[in-house]
Chains A and B, each alone.
Chain A
Amino acid sequence: GESVGLHLPTLSVQEGDNSIINCAYSNSASDYFIWYKQESGKGPQFIIDIRSNMDKRQGQRVTVLLNKTVKHLSLQIAATQPGDSAVYFCAEGESNKLTFGGGTRVLVKP
């Protein structure tokens, strides 16, 4: 999604539910996509990545989906936990360089 400065898009989710975070990218030549999680006061932490020759990749409790036709990327988190509360960034990559989106804040309600 686009950056809105201090007012990040926020996703509120009940603990135990699944979360879906969406991201639109702009560069048709991007061949690599990655999701990061950033907690307050910390650097971005790698979650999962996917190359452009794939449309789905699964990790532990996370799945990334890539739709190149509409230039859309999504991150699905299964059974969301309080520790998943953070800001999530998508990034697109080309020639070993990343361009980041604006981020989505995920708040997990107990």
Chain B
Amino acid sequence: EAGVAQSPRYKIIEKRQSVAFWCNPISGHATLYWYQQILGQGPKLLIQFQNNGVVDDSQLPKDRFSAERLKGVDSTLKIQPAKLEDSAVYLCASSFRLGGSTDTQYFGPGTRLTVL
């Protein structure tokens, strides 16, 4: 079974530029998550989708971050404009179940973003 795919793997931009990340979850997984992982810390949830609807975006800085999951499969996360503190690894994860009890989340390799 193919895992969660993410691209690009690395991105270097200057502050105030924009950037987009792409995620393809495991086939058949209804729930998709975007996390931000700052060096030396655990992942922090940014946004959670169930199919193509947003379940939780309470920790997404909505003035600069946006995400969508059209057709309930692939997802993109965008930052515009980027700040220095956005330098982190952006992880995508997916899980099979729609809701209710917590299900195992499987992670992609992440995109390492460096903002100069």
**In the complex, per-residue mask of B94-108: 1 if CB is within 8 Å of any chain A CB, else 0:** 010111111111111
B87 at the A/B interface (Cβ < 8 Å)? no
Interface pair B108/A5, CB less than 8 Å apart: no
Interface pair B99/A95, CB less than 8 Å apart: yes
Interface residues contributed by chain B, number (CB under 8 Å):
31
> Given the known A-B contacts A5-B40, A96-B97, A100-B42, are A46 and B102 also in contact in the complex, defined by CB atoms under 8 Å?
no
Give the distance to chain A from B91, nearest Cβ to Cβ, in Å. Answer: 6
B43 at the A/B interface (Cβ < 8 Å)? yes
**In the complex, per-residue mask of A40-61: 1 if CB is within 8 Å of any chain B CB, else 0:** 0111111001010000000000
Give the distance to chain B from A32, nearest Cβ to Cβ, in Å. Answer: 4
- From B31, B39, B40, B43, give the contact of A96 (CB < 8 A): B31
Q: A78 to B54: give the CA distance in the assembly, Å.
A: 41
Of chain A, the residue at the smallest CB distance from B98 is: A96
A3 at the A/B interface (Cβ < 8 Å)? yes
Of chain A, the residue at the smallest CB distance from B100 is: A96
Interface pair A6/B106, CB less than 8 Å apart: no
**Cβ contacts under 8 Å, A99 to chain B:** 45
Interface pair B110/A43, CB less than 8 Å apart: yes
Q: A97 to B48: give the CA distance in the assembly, Å.
A: 8
Give the distance to chain A from B17, nearest Cβ to Cβ, in Å. Answer: 24
Of the candidates A5, A32, A96, the one having the most CB atoms from chain B within 10 angstroms of its own CB is A96
**Cβ contacts under 8 Å, A6 to chain B:** 39-40
**Cβ contacts under 8 Å, B100 to chain A:** 95-96
> Given the known A-B contacts A43-B110, A96-B97, A100-B44, are A32 and B102 also in contact in the complex, defined by CB atoms under 8 Å?
yes
Give the distance to chain B from A109, nearest Cβ to Cβ, in Å. Answer: 22
Enumerate 26 A-B pairs (CB-CB under 8 Å) in ascending A order.
A3-B41, A4-B40, A5-B40, A5-B41, A7-B40, A32-B102, A42-B109, A43-B4, A43-B6, A43-B93, A43-B107, A43-B109, A43-B110, A46-B105, A89-B43, A91-B42, A93-B102, A95-B100, A95-B102, A96-B48, A96-B95, A96-B97, A96-B98, A97-B56, A102-B41, A102-B42
